[in-house]
Amino acid sequence: MRQHLKLLRACPFFNGLTEEEILATIHCVNGAVIKKQAGEYIFRAGESTTQMGLVLSGKALIIQEDLWGHRNILSNCIPGDFFGEPYAATPGTVLNISVVAEEPCEIMLVEVRRLLSSCSNSCEHHQRITRNLVAVLAKKILILNDKITHMSQRTTREKLLSYLSAESIRQESLHFDIPYDRQHLADFLCVERAAMSVELSKLQKEGILKTNRNHFDLYI
């Protein structure tokens, strides 16, 4: 686990902890590392879990799928991102999302019940990481609120502009990269890829934006 300490120290979940406190916490919550290949499921809808995951390397997608294979991407997880916290914190809750590896990745799974239970040593770092978990959950709520804002727009064009505007504000630049390719962006916004491509072409002709793969330049 020591080889991942640089990443773990930068992770909000371990904010304010020393390296030794991080290692002690991982031991306390039964941290275990697993490897997944691209396309393999980490969590699957319909199951339940007592663990949440932390991406150590590679990428994973949090998705919802229906019986016909239609996919709605909820979020993209890169190294340092957590997933599954709300489900792990409420034992017995059935997952209505799946988490799938977008590329080969390493995932650390931790037992949330061990984190939420009182530490026998009443250690300060245990209390701090519990507070950090609350902050991580709050951030996830804000991200979900942003997605709801984009999804509430009536047209594909409006959904695109809502998302790109939010990304521009978040990254504090009119020139930025997004974490999705075209198909993933369409899945994230719940629109047809062909319709989205048409709207992107129109927006470029109107001089509102330029795009190359996942890079965007906005003009106001």
Q: In terms of pTM, does the model score above 0.95?
A: no
Cα–Cα distance for residue pair 83/88, rounded to 1 Å: 9
**Strand 98-101 relative to strand 41-43: parallel, antiparallel, unpaired?**
antiparallel
Cα–Cα distance for residue pair 113/30, rounded to 1 Å: 10
Q: What angle do CA 47, 99, 87 make, to 5 degrees?
A: 50
Q: What is the pLDDT of residue 66?
A: 81
Q: What is the pLDDT of residue 128?
A: 82
Burial class (CB in 10 A: 0-12, 13-18, 19+), 101: buried
Q: What is the pLDDT of residue 137?
A: 85
Using DSSP's 3-state secondary structure scheme, residue 84 falls into coil
How many CB atoms sit inside 10 A of residue 107's CB? 23
Q: What is the pLDDT of residue 82?
A: 92
Return the H-helix or E-strand segment holding 109.
strand 105-111
Q: What is the pLDDT of residue 115?
A: 77
Q: What angle do CA 89, 8, 18 make, to 5 degrees?
A: 100
Q: What is the mean pLDDT of each run of 10 residues along the chain (220 residues)?
A: 88 89 87 96 94 96 86 92 90 92 96 74 70 85 90 96 96 96 94 96 97 95
Nearest to 84 by CA among 70, 92, 95: 95
